């Protein structure tokens, strides 16, 4: 067992940052720019974390106070106002900050108007900022290990070039194991292991944990979530280490139930789930869903049970399948079954992979979904009877589900709230079926922090010299704001880096 205290350190820095996604990168830049000598340690062989897989879009405010009201409404009392106020104070500075960072490699910034996902006051006062071009940069060539959405690699390149330009010491394949404290209980360093055994690395000022959430920690998910199993969409590096290290020192936890997720497929050769096609978000009472959704979902009994197309289904898509039947101790909708017909099959690819992992080859989902019929991710049936047999449900249940659905499509009204224009009938044989599972894109929970992003204990007192950044203990406690996690990486990275660097040195 690694000891909590040590007599001497193998190495010493002012600030040690754990995790090299966007959160860790911005923390390291911020601490460095405030005058600290920084070590940035990353457990995986390649940097980028989940961040590099993302769309790379930061959600930013046109109007500070309106955005505060939106965050207050969507957090529904789960995050105190003073934390949201501090978040807003920083959020208004991010546009200018990215402009500065972008000069490192001539990156081009793109801004897009986009309202929040729900029509609470302030939802129409926000926009997206992305990097959409960098001269001589090719994400597929330069980050061949990352099978990413378009924007994430661009933003990561800007951060990585800034880290390199400043000469910030970076180590890959180095895992943080436990925190080290001094005799007063303040964080004094961290045990880091590069594979050759743990080394005690001291922090004169502070440690910042930016090591993500618990997307790939099934045992932790099992304790905090009812729905089970849930498969990560993107990354195996985030295993809840930051939660273990901080609770070890008495940290309080929050938002652990909340994850950014949806539903998707499993491929036998991948440890990742594959999310369903990203259909455009819609805003209840404000903007209708226009896109056709080619499928319906049914449970093991052959009946539909949820609106398959939530306003922001990439975030809450899994919530409709999160149910337990107490009489059976079973989850009737895990897995559930996607059903579509031959015409719908030709509309678009049903899935899209995006992951950060050099061990697995990029899996390209086919345009017409036929590759997936061949490899068994999707199964084909000539009749509804055959489809019912595959599910193991009574034939009459499934035929009546499909008949009712087709009638609802004709009428343009669905009892379960499916947006009318998204409704696509299931008529044209052959039919297709795929098992569908809950998917976690990223988790929101972790240690509670104060407005300076200091980790606090169960009594609300800061644990001295311990900070977090990024999604580890994020502010999102009820409904998530699209683009919010990446913004939080910048906001919390800037706050934690600055605050950590301003701590008095333990050596003075």
Ligand X SMILES: Cc1cc2nc3c(=O)[nH]c(=O)nc-3n(C[C@H](O)[C@H](O)[C@H](O)COP(=O)(O)OP(=O)(O)OC[C@H]3O[C@@H](n4cnc5c(N)ncnc54)[C@H](O)[C@@H]3O)c2cc1C
CB of 486 to ligand X, least distance (A): 3
Please calculate the CA angle 414-415-417 and round it to the nearest 5 degrees.
65
CB of 19 to ligand X, least distance (A): 3
241 binds ligand X (CB under 6 A): yes
Q: Which is nearer to ligand X, 176 or 387 (CB)?
A: 176
- Name the one range near ligand X by CB under 6 A: 37-45, 71-79, 305-313, 424-432: 37-45
From CA 258, how far away is CA 261, in angstroms rounded?
9
Q: Are 188 and 181 in contact (CB under 8 A)?
A: yes
Residue from 159, 456, 489, 501 that binds ligand X (CB under 6 A)?
489
Q: Pick from 482, 120, 441: which is nearest to 312 by CA? A: 482
E strand or H helix that includes residue 29 = helix 22-33
160 binds ligand X (CB under 6 A): no
**DSSP-H helix ranges across 311-425:** 313-316, 342-345, 370-375, 384-391, 395-411
Dihedral of CA 271/275/277/280: which sign? negative
From CA 334, how far away is CA 321, in angstroms rounded?
7
Assigned token pair, 210: 């930016």
Residue 283's DSSP bridge partners are 287
Residues 342-401 that bind ligand X (CB under 6 A): 354
Residue from 14, 42, 252, 341 that binds ligand X (CB under 6 A)?
42
Residue from 14, 15, 16, 19 that binds ligand X (CB under 6 A)?
19
- Name the one range near ligand X by CB under 6 A: 137-145, 208-216, 357-365, 404-412: 208-216
Residue from 43, 157, 267, 465 that binds ligand X (CB under 6 A)?
43
From CA 298, how far away is CA 303, in angstroms rounded?
5
Q: Which is nearer to ligand X, 463 or 486 (CB)?
A: 486
Residue from 202, 335, 483, 497 that binds ligand X (CB under 6 A)?
483
Assigned token pair, 206: 């502070």
Residue from 17, 30, 49, 491 that binds ligand X (CB under 6 A)?
49
Residue from 13, 22, 265, 467 that binds ligand X (CB under 6 A)?
22
CB of 75 to ligand X, least distance (A): 16
57 binds ligand X (CB under 6 A): yes
Backbone dihedral angles phi then psi of residue 218, each to the nearest 5 degrees? -55, -35
485 binds ligand X (CB under 6 A): yes
237 binds ligand X (CB under 6 A): yes
21 binds ligand X (CB under 6 A): yes
Residue from 16, 32, 55, 340 that binds ligand X (CB under 6 A)?
55
Q: Which is nearer to ligand X, 41 or 338 (CB)?
A: 41
Give the count of alpha carbons within 13 A of 176, CB side only. 31
Q: Which is nearer to ligand X, 55 or 302 (CB)?
A: 55
Residue from 15, 53, 433, 455 that binds ligand X (CB under 6 A)?
53
From CA 363, how far away is CA 83, in angstroms rounded?
40
91 binds ligand X (CB under 6 A): no
From CA 93, how far away is CA 487, in angstroms rounded?
11
CA Rg value for the chain: 24
CB of 44 to ligand X, least distance (A): 4
Q: Which is nearer to ligand X, 219 or 508 (CB)?
A: 219
Please calculate the CA angle 272-276-277 and round it to the nearest 5 degrees.
130
Question: With 0-12 CB in 10 A as exposed, 13-18 as middle and 19+ as buried, what is 1?
Answer: exposed
Q: How many CB atoms lie within 10 A of CB 63?
A: 14
200 binds ligand X (CB under 6 A): no
Query: DSSP class of residue 503?
Result: S
Q: How many CB atoms lie within 10 A of CB 508?
A: 5
Which parts of 194-343 are beta strand (E)?
A: 198-209, 231-232, 253-254, 259-266, 273-276, 296-298, 336-341
Residue from 75, 105, 117, 175 that binds ligand X (CB under 6 A)?
175
Q: Are 285 and 292 in contact (CB under 8 A)?
A: no
CB of 491 to ligand X, least distance (A): 11
264 binds ligand X (CB under 6 A): no
- Name the one range near ligand X by CB under 6 A: 32-40, 42-50, 135-143, 221-229: 42-50
Give the distance from CA 301 to its chain's centroid. Answer: 32
Number of residues lying near ligand X (CB under 6 A) = 40
24 binds ligand X (CB under 6 A): yes
CB of 485 to ligand X, least distance (A): 3
276 binds ligand X (CB under 6 A): no
Interacting residue ranges for ligand X, rule: CB under 6 A: 18-24, 41-44, 49-51, 53-55, 57, 149, 175-176, 210-212, 233-234, 237-238, 241, 354, 441-442, 470-472, 483-486, 489
């Amino acid at each position: 067992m690694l000891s909590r205290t040590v007599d001497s350190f193998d190495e010493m820095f002012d600030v040690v940052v754990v995790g090299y996604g966007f959160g860790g990168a911005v923390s390291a830049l911020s601490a460095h720019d405030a005058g600290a000598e920084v070590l940035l340690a990353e457990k995986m062989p390649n940097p980028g974390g989940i961040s590099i897989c993302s769309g790379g879009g930061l959600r930013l405010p046109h109007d500070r106070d309106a955005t505060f009201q939106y965050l207050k409404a969507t957090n529904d009392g789960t995050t105190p106002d003073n934390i949201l106020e501090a978040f807003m104070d920083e959020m208004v500075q991010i546009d200018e900050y990215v402009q500065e960072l972008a000069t490192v490699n001539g990156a081009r910034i793109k801004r897009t108007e986009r309202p929040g996902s729900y029509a609470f006051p302030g939802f129409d006062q926000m926009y997206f900022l992305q990097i959409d071009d960098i001269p001589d940069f090719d994400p597929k060539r330069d980050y061949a290990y990352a099978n990413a959405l378009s924007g994430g690699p661009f933003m990561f390149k800007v951060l990585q070039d800034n880290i390199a330009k400043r000469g910030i010491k970076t180590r890959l394949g180095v895992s943080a194991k436990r925190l080290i404290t001094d005799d007063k209980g303040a964080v004094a360093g961290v045990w880091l292991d590069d594979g050759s055994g743990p080394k005690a690395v001291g922090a004169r000022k502070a440690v910042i944990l930016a090591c993500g959430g618990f997307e790939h920690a099934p045992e932790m998910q099992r304790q905090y979530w009812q729905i089970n199993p849930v498969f990560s969409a993107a990354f195996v590096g985030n295993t809840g280490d930051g939660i273990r290290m901080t609770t070890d020192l008495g940290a309080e936890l929050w938002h652990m139930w909340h994850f950014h997720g949806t539903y998707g497929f499993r491929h036998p050769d991948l440890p990742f789930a594959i999310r369903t096609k990203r259909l455009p978000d819609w805003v209840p009472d404000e903007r209708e869903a226009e896109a056709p959704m080619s499928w319906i979902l049914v449970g093991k009994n052959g009946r539909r049970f949820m609106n398959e197309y939530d306003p922001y289904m990439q975030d809450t898509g899994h919530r409709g399948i999160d149910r337990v039947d107490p009489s059976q101790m079973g989850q009737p909708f895990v897995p559930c079954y996607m059903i579509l017909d031959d015409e719908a099959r030709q509309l678009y690819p049903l899935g899209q992979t995006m992951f950060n992992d050099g061990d697995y080859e990029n899996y390209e989902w086919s345009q017409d979904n036929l590759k997936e019929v061949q490899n068994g991710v999707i199964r084909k049936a000539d009749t509804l009877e055959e489809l019912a047999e595959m599910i193991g449900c009574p034939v009459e249940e499934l035929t009546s589900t499909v008949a009712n659905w087709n009638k609802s499509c004709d009428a343009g009204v669905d009892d379960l709230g499916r947006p009318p224009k998204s409704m696509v009938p299931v008529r044209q044989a052959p039919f297709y079926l795929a098992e569908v599972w809950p998917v976690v894109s990223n988790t929101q929970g972790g240690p509670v922090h104060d407005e300076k992003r200091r980790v606090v204990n169960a009594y609300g007192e800061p644990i001295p010299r311990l900070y977090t950044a990024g999604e580890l203990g994020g502010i999102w406690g009820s409904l998530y704001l699209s683009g919010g996690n990446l913004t939080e990486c910048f906001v919390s990275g800037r706050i934690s880096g600055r605050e950590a660097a301003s701590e008095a040195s333990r050596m003075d």
